[in-house]
Amino acid sequence: MSGVHLTVTDRVAELRLDNPEKMNAFTAEMVVQLGDHLDAVERRSDIRCVLVTAEGERAFCTGADILAWGDLSPAEFARHWVRDGHRVFDRLARLSRPTIAVLNGHAFGGGLELAAACDIRVMAPKATIGLPEASVGIVPGWSGTQRLARLLPEPVLKEMALFGRRIGAERACQLGFVTEVSDDPRASADTIAGRVRNLSPRAVEIAKSMLHAGQGEDRGAMIEALGSAAIAASSDRTEGVAAFAEKRKPEFPGD
Protein backbone atom coordinates (compact mmCIF):
# COMPACT_ATOMS: atom_id res chain seq x y z
CA MET A 1 0.00 0.00 0.00
CA SER A 2 1.29 3.46 -0.89
CA GLY A 3 2.25 5.83 1.88
CA VAL A 4 4.80 8.12 3.49
CA HIS A 5 6.79 6.54 6.31
CA LEU A 6 8.64 8.22 9.17
CA THR A 7 11.62 6.63 10.90
CA VAL A 8 14.19 8.18 13.24
CA THR A 9 17.70 6.79 13.64
CA ASP A 10 20.50 8.44 15.63
CA ARG A 11 18.70 11.83 15.67
CA VAL A 12 18.12 11.84 11.89
CA ALA A 13 14.55 11.52 10.64
CA GLU A 14 13.71 9.91 7.31
CA LEU A 15 10.50 10.69 5.45
CA ARG A 16 10.21 8.01 2.77
CA LEU A 17 7.77 8.11 -0.13
CA ASP A 18 6.54 4.59 -0.82
CA ASN A 19 4.53 4.22 -4.02
CA PRO A 20 7.10 2.70 -6.41
CA GLU A 21 4.54 1.12 -8.76
CA LYS A 22 3.50 4.66 -9.72
CA MET A 23 7.01 6.14 -9.48
CA ASN A 24 6.22 7.44 -5.99
CA ALA A 25 3.46 9.75 -7.22
CA PHE A 26 1.44 11.42 -4.48
CA THR A 27 -2.03 10.22 -3.55
CA ALA A 28 -4.33 12.37 -1.39
CA GLU A 29 -3.57 10.10 1.57
CA MET A 30 0.17 10.54 1.09
CA VAL A 31 -0.21 14.32 1.20
CA VAL A 32 -2.04 14.03 4.53
CA GLN A 33 0.53 11.57 5.90
CA LEU A 34 3.43 13.85 4.97
CA GLY A 35 1.79 16.75 6.79
CA ASP A 36 1.16 14.64 9.89
CA HIS A 37 4.75 13.39 9.94
CA LEU A 38 6.11 16.93 9.61
CA ASP A 39 4.06 17.98 12.63
CA ALA A 40 5.46 15.01 14.56
CA VAL A 41 9.04 15.88 13.58
CA GLU A 42 8.59 19.48 14.67
CA ARG A 43 7.45 18.38 18.13
CA ARG A 44 10.50 16.14 18.70
CA SER A 45 13.48 17.92 20.19
CA ASP A 46 15.83 14.98 19.57
CA ILE A 47 15.74 15.25 15.75
CA ARG A 48 18.66 17.18 14.25
CA CYS A 49 18.15 16.66 10.51
CA VAL A 50 15.51 15.31 8.10
CA LEU A 51 16.05 13.26 4.94
CA VAL A 52 13.30 13.09 2.33
CA THR A 53 13.78 9.85 0.39
CA ALA A 54 11.83 7.54 -1.91
CA GLU A 55 11.42 3.83 -2.46
CA GLY A 56 13.11 2.27 -5.48
CA GLU A 57 15.71 3.62 -7.88
CA ARG A 58 13.77 4.77 -10.94
CA ALA A 59 12.07 7.85 -9.50
CA PHE A 60 12.21 10.11 -6.48
CA CYS A 61 8.68 11.31 -7.21
CA THR A 62 6.82 12.03 -10.44
CA GLY A 63 4.36 14.42 -8.83
CA ALA A 64 0.71 13.79 -8.17
CA ASP A 65 -1.09 10.62 -9.19
CA ILE A 66 -3.40 11.70 -12.03
CA LEU A 67 -6.02 9.22 -10.84
CA ALA A 68 -6.09 11.05 -7.50
CA TRP A 69 -7.17 14.37 -8.99
CA GLY A 70 -8.31 13.69 -12.55
CA ASP A 71 -12.00 13.41 -11.67
CA LEU A 72 -12.14 16.35 -9.27
CA SER A 73 -14.32 19.32 -10.14
CA PRO A 74 -12.50 22.60 -10.87
CA ALA A 75 -13.53 23.93 -7.44
CA GLU A 76 -12.40 20.77 -5.61
CA PHE A 77 -9.13 20.73 -7.56
CA ALA A 78 -8.31 24.34 -6.66
CA ARG A 79 -9.68 24.48 -3.13
CA HIS A 80 -8.51 21.13 -1.83
CA TRP A 81 -5.98 19.28 -3.95
CA VAL A 82 -3.81 22.29 -4.83
CA ARG A 83 -4.19 24.09 -1.51
CA ASP A 84 -3.66 20.96 0.60
CA GLY A 85 -0.46 20.11 -1.24
CA HIS A 86 0.75 23.68 -1.14
CA ARG A 87 0.14 23.89 2.60
CA VAL A 88 2.05 20.67 3.32
CA PHE A 89 4.99 21.64 1.10
CA ASP A 90 5.13 25.04 2.83
CA ARG A 91 5.23 23.13 6.12
CA LEU A 92 8.25 21.20 4.87
CA ALA A 93 10.01 24.34 3.65
CA ARG A 94 9.50 26.04 7.01
CA LEU A 95 10.50 23.09 9.18
CA SER A 96 12.89 24.26 11.87
CA ARG A 97 15.35 21.38 11.19
CA PRO A 98 17.60 21.26 8.12
CA THR A 99 16.24 19.04 5.36
CA ILE A 100 17.92 17.09 2.55
CA ALA A 101 16.12 15.71 -0.50
CA VAL A 102 17.69 12.48 -1.74
CA LEU A 103 16.95 12.37 -5.47
CA ASN A 104 17.60 8.69 -6.20
CA GLY A 105 15.71 9.07 -9.49
CA HIS A 106 13.62 11.43 -11.58
CA ALA A 107 11.78 14.32 -9.90
CA PHE A 108 8.93 15.71 -11.99
CA GLY A 109 6.14 18.14 -11.22
CA GLY A 110 5.15 17.81 -7.58
CA GLY A 111 8.24 15.68 -6.98
CA LEU A 112 10.45 18.55 -8.08
CA GLU A 113 8.40 20.94 -5.96
CA LEU A 114 8.88 18.59 -3.00
CA ALA A 115 12.66 18.63 -3.54
CA ALA A 116 12.60 22.42 -3.83
CA ALA A 117 10.92 22.65 -0.42
CA CYS A 118 13.99 21.01 1.16
CA ASP A 119 17.08 23.01 2.14
CA ILE A 120 19.51 21.12 -0.09
CA ARG A 121 19.38 18.31 -2.63
CA VAL A 122 21.66 15.36 -3.49
CA MET A 123 21.06 13.73 -6.88
CA ALA A 124 21.90 10.51 -8.70
CA PRO A 125 23.82 10.98 -12.00
CA LYS A 126 21.08 9.56 -14.23
CA ALA A 127 18.21 11.37 -12.51
CA THR A 128 16.49 14.32 -14.18
CA ILE A 129 14.15 17.08 -13.07
CA GLY A 130 11.24 18.60 -14.97
CA LEU A 131 7.84 20.29 -14.92
CA PRO A 132 5.67 18.26 -17.32
CA GLU A 133 2.31 19.64 -16.15
CA ALA A 134 1.46 21.21 -19.51
CA SER A 135 1.58 17.76 -21.13
CA VAL A 136 -1.57 16.81 -19.18
CA GLY A 137 -3.25 20.21 -19.42
CA ILE A 138 -2.45 21.70 -16.01
CA VAL A 139 0.13 24.04 -14.46
CA PRO A 140 2.48 23.65 -11.46
CA GLY A 141 0.38 23.95 -8.32
CA TRP A 142 2.58 23.13 -5.34
CA SER A 143 4.98 26.13 -5.52
CA GLY A 144 6.62 25.27 -8.85
CA THR A 145 6.25 28.80 -10.20
CA GLN A 146 7.02 30.44 -6.86
CA ARG A 147 9.63 28.71 -4.69
CA LEU A 148 11.43 27.24 -7.70
CA ALA A 149 11.71 30.75 -9.13
CA ARG A 150 13.98 31.62 -6.19
CA LEU A 151 16.17 28.57 -6.75
CA LEU A 152 16.58 28.44 -10.54
CA PRO A 153 17.23 31.10 -13.19
CA GLU A 154 14.08 32.24 -14.97
CA PRO A 155 15.11 30.91 -18.42
CA VAL A 156 15.79 27.47 -16.96
CA LEU A 157 12.44 27.38 -15.21
CA LYS A 158 10.77 28.40 -18.48
CA GLU A 159 12.61 25.63 -20.31
CA MET A 160 10.89 23.12 -18.06
CA ALA A 161 7.46 24.70 -17.58
CA LEU A 162 6.92 26.14 -21.08
CA PHE A 163 8.96 23.84 -23.31
CA GLY A 164 8.85 20.57 -21.40
CA ARG A 165 12.63 20.12 -21.18
CA ARG A 166 14.23 17.92 -18.55
CA ILE A 167 17.36 19.03 -16.72
CA GLY A 168 20.08 16.49 -15.95
CA ALA A 169 21.94 16.08 -12.68
CA GLU A 170 25.19 17.74 -13.76
CA ARG A 171 23.43 20.82 -15.08
CA ALA A 172 21.26 21.02 -11.97
CA CYS A 173 24.43 20.96 -9.90
CA GLN A 174 26.08 23.65 -12.04
CA LEU A 175 23.01 25.82 -11.51
CA GLY A 176 23.32 25.41 -7.75
CA PHE A 177 20.00 23.62 -7.37
CA VAL A 178 21.75 20.39 -6.40
CA THR A 179 24.47 20.29 -3.75
CA GLU A 180 26.10 17.09 -4.93
CA VAL A 181 25.79 14.50 -7.70
CA SER A 182 26.51 11.08 -6.26
CA ASP A 183 26.37 7.44 -7.38
CA ASP A 184 24.96 6.79 -3.90
CA PRO A 185 22.91 9.88 -3.01
CA ARG A 186 21.61 8.33 0.18
CA ALA A 187 25.12 7.70 1.50
CA SER A 188 26.11 11.27 0.60
CA ALA A 189 23.05 12.62 2.38
CA ASP A 190 23.85 10.50 5.45
CA THR A 191 27.35 12.00 5.53
CA ILE A 192 25.97 15.53 5.39
CA ALA A 193 23.38 14.74 8.06
CA GLY A 194 26.14 13.30 10.23
CA ARG A 195 27.84 16.67 10.29
CA VAL A 196 24.63 18.34 11.45
CA ARG A 197 24.47 16.03 14.47
CA ASN A 198 27.64 17.68 15.81
CA LEU A 199 26.39 21.25 15.45
CA SER A 200 24.41 23.35 17.90
CA PRO A 201 20.74 22.58 17.15
CA ARG A 202 19.58 26.01 18.29
CA ALA A 203 22.24 27.79 16.25
CA VAL A 204 21.25 25.78 13.16
CA GLU A 205 17.56 26.46 13.74
CA ILE A 206 18.05 30.20 14.19
CA ALA A 207 20.42 30.44 11.22
CA LYS A 208 17.79 28.73 9.04
CA SER A 209 15.14 31.18 10.29
CA MET A 210 17.38 34.15 9.50
CA LEU A 211 18.17 32.87 6.02
CA HIS A 212 14.50 32.25 5.29
CA ALA A 213 13.52 35.69 6.53
CA GLY A 214 16.10 37.21 4.21
CA GLN A 215 14.80 35.18 1.27
CA GLY A 216 11.15 35.99 1.93
CA GLU A 217 10.17 32.44 2.93
CA ASP A 218 7.35 33.15 5.41
CA ARG A 219 9.19 36.33 6.40
CA GLY A 220 6.57 37.66 8.81
CA ALA A 221 6.39 34.47 10.87
CA MET A 222 10.18 34.10 10.88
CA ILE A 223 10.76 37.64 12.13
CA GLU A 224 8.17 37.25 14.87
CA ALA A 225 9.58 33.85 15.87
CA LEU A 226 13.09 35.28 16.20
CA GLY A 227 11.79 38.24 18.19
CA SER A 228 9.73 35.99 20.43
CA ALA A 229 12.73 33.74 21.10
CA ALA A 230 14.78 36.76 22.14
CA ILE A 231 12.14 38.16 24.48
CA ALA A 232 11.44 34.70 25.93
CA ALA A 233 15.04 34.64 27.24
CA SER A 234 14.72 38.04 28.96
CA SER A 235 14.18 38.85 32.61
CA ASP A 236 11.27 41.07 31.58
CA ARG A 237 9.38 38.05 30.31
CA THR A 238 10.08 36.14 33.55
CA GLU A 239 8.87 39.07 35.62
CA GLY A 240 5.79 39.63 33.47
CA VAL A 241 4.66 36.02 33.78
CA ALA A 242 5.36 35.97 37.52
CA ALA A 243 3.45 39.23 38.09
CA PHE A 244 0.46 37.94 36.16
CA ALA A 245 0.40 34.69 38.17
CA GLU A 246 0.74 36.63 41.47
CA LYS A 247 -1.82 39.26 40.41
CA ARG A 248 0.51 42.20 41.03
CA LYS A 249 1.97 45.05 39.04
CA PRO A 250 5.16 43.96 37.24
CA GLU A 251 8.53 45.60 37.90
CA PHE A 252 10.43 45.06 34.67
CA PRO A 253 14.25 45.03 35.09
CA GLY A 254 14.85 45.71 31.40
CA ASP A 255 17.35 42.87 30.80
- The catalytic site residues sit at 113, 133
Give me the DSSP letters along 43-61: H-TT--EEEEEESSSSEEE
Contact in structure between 31 and 85 (CB atoms under 8 Å): yes
Angle, vertex CA 156, rays to CA 154 and CA 160, nearest 5: 115
CA distances from 45 to 10, 13, 105, 231 (A): 13, 12, 31, 21
39-45 LR contacts (CB < 8 Å, sep 24+): 39/91, 40/6, 41/6, 41/13, 41/15, 41/95, 41/97, 42/95, 42/96, 42/97, 44/8, 44/13
Residues 6+ apart with CB under 8 A from 39: 91
